[in-house]
Structure 1
Amino acid sequence: MSIRVLVVDDSGFFRRRVTEIINADPRMEVVGVAANGQEAIEKNDSLRPDVITMDYEMPVMDGITAIRNIMQRRPVPVLMFSSLTFEGARVTLDALDAGALDFLPKNFDAVAKDSAEIKRALTDKIAAVARSHLRSAPAPVVAARPVARSRIGQKDLVVIGTSTGGPAALQTLFRTIPAGFKTPIIIVQHMPGSFTKAFAERLNGLSPLVVKEAVDGDRIQPSHVYVAPGGMQLMVERRNGGIIHIRDSDERINYRPSVDIAFASAAKHYGNKVLGVVLTGMGADGRDGARLIKQSGGHIWAQDEDSCVIFGMPMAVIKDGLSDEILPLKDIGGRLAEEVG
């Protein structure tokens, strides 16, 4: 059964091209289009699509207002189109807060040129969010299982890796970490370079900890959180109390920043004093790095399936037997304070 998609954009050209790209993929079909947010709400009710692609700036009603209404009336996975600017990042983060699950850069030139890369990115994202867990949907009822908990010992560094669903998950997590938490935290979130500064500012505004986008040479300090800059790679070194290194990324590496690279660096320099946490996300980034953390004597926590938007990254770690604990998102902040901070 194909994935039914509603395309929402005020540009007739963009609607046509996105529709052509989606309909060329045998996994999916466009069941309708809308030129503004109000039409999107009405067609979501009448056509009952599996996924909506959503623009932000539209007449009558903007995309974020439409998403809020959709999540109240008939929740459905939404993929947001966004501009790769600092202001575009803020708008996209607002959309993710409203209930959108993921985003793609809105690039008219690439769409017009019939880019194979753009086609693949769009259709793969649609397929992924179609399989996702909506945050507004009730969690499945599962039998409670006792979890053996043992203290993991003092940690000098926490490294968190995440992708799709990560911005919302991290905001939930950092609201629950108390002001007295001292252990430094590094965040590796798959995001474009123009987004991570805005995201760090947003986390800083809701957390009692100091959150900033990491820059090369940052000294790792207690009660500080460092967000890896998009498009680059973050590594750490233990000397002088801990230093962050930011390096250009090899184009052959799929993820920029990469959880695997940050985990590997932490394993090398912090050994058994590092805790890696793998949250919601597509793919398997973090699995190889988690293995190195385990080999160095460190520990790994993974988010459980029920609280993930996309279970791919935690599942990869769990399937390889690398997770010391599998935790619901709502419990991770408290456990960090209890075990680590």
Structure 2
Amino acid sequence: MESSKDMINKANYKVIIVGSAGSPNVAVNLLKINEKLNIPVIICIHFTSSAMETFANHIEIETGHIVKIVDQPTPIKNEIYLPKGGKDIIFISENTLNSVESEYKVHPSISKLFESLVKYADDKTTIIVLGGLGDDGKDYAKILRNKGVKFVIEKSPRFPYLPNNIAKELEMRYEQAEQSRIKDIIIRINRQALQDY
């Protein structure tokens, strides 16, 4: 029998963490769940291109989870995924990611990720919006919510602009939560995915 880390994402649960300024350390802390991952986690946080590999190593050391930098079509397993520095991370099928050259000022682009997700989104997808600047991703938030995607917005982040702009598009159809509650949500999804295999 395959171990859960080797399985392709058969239960189809996905957790996507997006953010900008002030978010990287929050994302790392949220993933310190003291459990093996039973779900793929896609991280799309605005980050300096040259620091992406260092960030990936930091996540791996701090959380104990496998982290992959996506630079070609990659089937998602129960691991953490980041785009290659300077590129955008996108879905090219329900359970396959790729990185593409960024057309945007900031990268990785949350809008590009959300746009690619529209075709494959469902109620087993949870998007966690952490603090940051700007409004990247807001144009697709409502479309994704209408397809059943659950949004969890960080309460009282250091930089509230990004989460506030996405929240406005969702018209109160999201959960706002402190970091400890967000971690509990990730743990709940992780355990549910294991039951559904």
Normalised by the length of structure 1, the TM-score is 0.50
Counterpart selection for 1:279 from 104, 114, 130: 130
The equivalent of 1:227 in structure 2 is: 82
More helix per residue: 1
| Deviation for aligned residue 1:256 | 1.6
Once the two structures are superposed, the pairs formed by residues 160-179 of structure 1 within 5 Å of their partners are 160-175=17-32, 177-179=33-35
Once the two structures are superposed, the pairs formed by residues 113-128 of structure 1 within 5 Å of their partners are none
| Deviation for aligned residue 1:283 | 0.8
How far apart in 2 are the matches of 1:338 and 1:243? 24
Normalised by the length of structure 2, the TM-score is 0.83
2:85 counterpart of 1:249: no
2:41 counterpart of 1:185: yes
Tell me, which stretches of 5 or more residues in structure 2 are unaligned?
A: 1-10, 192-197
| Deviation for aligned residue 1:340 | 4.8
Q: CA RMSD, aligned part only?
A: 1.8
> Does the residue aligned with 1:282 lie in a helix, a strand or coil?
coil
* Pair member with larger Rg: 1
Counterpart selection for 1:158 from 2, 9, 15: 15
| Deviation for aligned residue 1:173 | 1.1
Deviation string for 1:58-116 (max 9, x for gaps)?
Answer: xxxxxxxxxxxxxxxxxxxxxxxxxxxxxxxxxxxxxxxxxxxxxxxxxxxxxxxxxxx
217 and 226 in structure 1: CA distance in 2 versus 1, 3 angstrom threshold = same
Letter in 2 for 1:200: A
The equivalent of 2:116 in structure 1 is: 265
How far apart in 2 are the matches of 1:289 and 1:261? 9
Letter in 2 for 1:269: Y
CA contact (8 A) 1:233 1:247 kept: yes
How far apart in 1 are the matches of 2:172 and 2:162? 12
2:135 counterpart of 1:314: no
How far apart in 2 are the matches of 1:178 and 1:155? 22
Considering Cα pairs closer than 8 Å and 6+ residues apart, tell me whether 1 or 2 has the greater RCO.
Answer: 2
| Deviation for aligned residue 1:304 | 0.5
How far apart in 2 are the matches of 1:178 and 1:317? 30
2:63 counterpart of 1:207: yes
How far apart in 1 are the matches of 2:53 and 2:121? 26
CA contact (8 A) 1:172 1:330 kept: no
| Deviation for aligned residue 1:201 | 0.6
> Does the residue aligned with 1:179 lie in a helix, a strand or coil?
coil
How far apart in 1 are the matches of 2:146 and 2:186? 21
| Deviation for aligned residue 1:277 | 1.0
Once the two structures are superposed, the pairs formed by residues 46-85 of structure 1 within 5 Å of their partners are none
How far apart in 2 are the matches of 1:171 and 1:340? 16
How far apart in 1 are the matches of 2:142 and 2:12? 17
Letter in 1 for 2:167: I
| Deviation for aligned residue 1:322 | 5.5
Q: Which runs of 4+ in 1 moved over 3 A?
A: none
CA contact (8 A) 1:268 1:296 kept: no
How far apart in 2 are the matches of 1:219 and 1:178? 24
Counterpart selection for 1:335 from 185, 189, 193: 185
| Deviation for aligned residue 1:155 | 5.5
How far apart in 2 are the matches of 1:298 and 1:340? 16
